[in-house]
Structure 1
Amino acid sequence: MTDPKISRRGPGRPRGFDDATVLGAAMRLFWREGYSGASMPQISAATGLSTSSLYNAYGSKLDLLVAALDHYSDTVLDSFMLGPLARGGDGLADVDAFLDRLAATIDAAHPRGCLTVNTIAEFRDPPPPVAARTARYRSQLRQALRAALSRARHLGEIPADAVDQRADALVPIVVAFNLLVAAHAPASETRDLLTVARTLTHRGLR
């Protein structure tokens, strides 16, 4: 999931740290503070690496954000949020389970929404590597929803012509939901969006 255009330091001495641990710490900091709000001293403190070590390992702060977005895609989106939706064995039940996972984020101690959606909101004119990651997220979300809805169609749960239309409609609802969660909007508003998503998903249920 890395981009060859992102600068990375060439091979040298083996790293004296665990890459996943460092990227996980950077990911959580960017998720909490945003790209602009996370300073290099904060990143250094969170990761336990000096700024020079971070630069040597990952490149610029922007390079580190991109690496953190890739780590988020692998460890949160694919492993927990979107992967089960895409690869599940059911149809509408898998969509409902995904919406349940979204609903659980409302009640988190510190609701933060989705790191990639937050990045979409923060960068009005994103650098190409960031734009590529946010575009990938929207594509992954749509593909995962389409996969589950296709299973629902084969199970006779929704009309045959509903798959693409409903996937296309659900993507902006999910994005808007995450934006509202990150903005600490009233829980009633975010839950109402999920109610709309469920109603749309189950329309024409047989």
Structure 2
Amino acid sequence: MRYCTRADIGNAIPEMTLIQLFNDDPAAMLPNESVIEDGVRQAEELVDGYLRGRYNLPLDPVPTVLRDAVVYLARHWLYQRRPEGALPDAVKDILTAHAHVYIKEEVRAKAAHGALGYHPSLLPMHRGRDAVHWAVHMREPVTGGSVYWLDDGADTGPVLTQDWCHVRPDDTPQMLWRRELAPMGLRLFSQALAMLDAGVDCKGRPQDPALATWEPGVSTKRLSG
């Protein structure tokens, strides 16, 4: 584990939940450490994919915000090991990061806080799976990212937190994603989860339908590829 420790995972997930999520033996008394290590590895590789080309990797020392982001991403991946609808009672948050998947209402309801998504646009503008492409294609000088509460629509839920960035004239969607929008998503998730932990009002701001735009999908290429 390069960006977090086993103790960090233990602080984020109760021990009983670790056993329920990470050991497939119903009689197990301890979590499967290899599964935990695999979840952290996937989170670290995802973060490295976003940061590669901007920094010398792996980062040392590890910024606190990066450690927290890896823990949250690893926790999200580990929860996904269970079949749909089989979330443990201790689950507080569901996170989806530009994932292009639909989380059913009954699954969202199982999380104590609900389900948060990250969308790489200033919602309600540029809803849809290729928001980054359209921001570049339309030559917009500014774009951003939004963490919002998932609902039954596509990118339509209340916005909890947002940030913005400039779009450079020579940007491609991949360049903009790696340089600005992927790191922004990590920061916004950390900010949102800190707000939840602090117990502040996190209902979010309803999206204005008069400002909403929806762009079609245009590409199958991964932004982090």
Q: Under a length normalisation based on structure 2, what TM-score does the superposition of the two structures give?
A: 0.30
More helix by share: 1
Between structure 1 and structure 2, the one with the greater Rg is 1
Q: Under a length normalisation based on structure 1, what TM-score does the superposition of the two structures give?
A: 0.32
More strand by share: 2
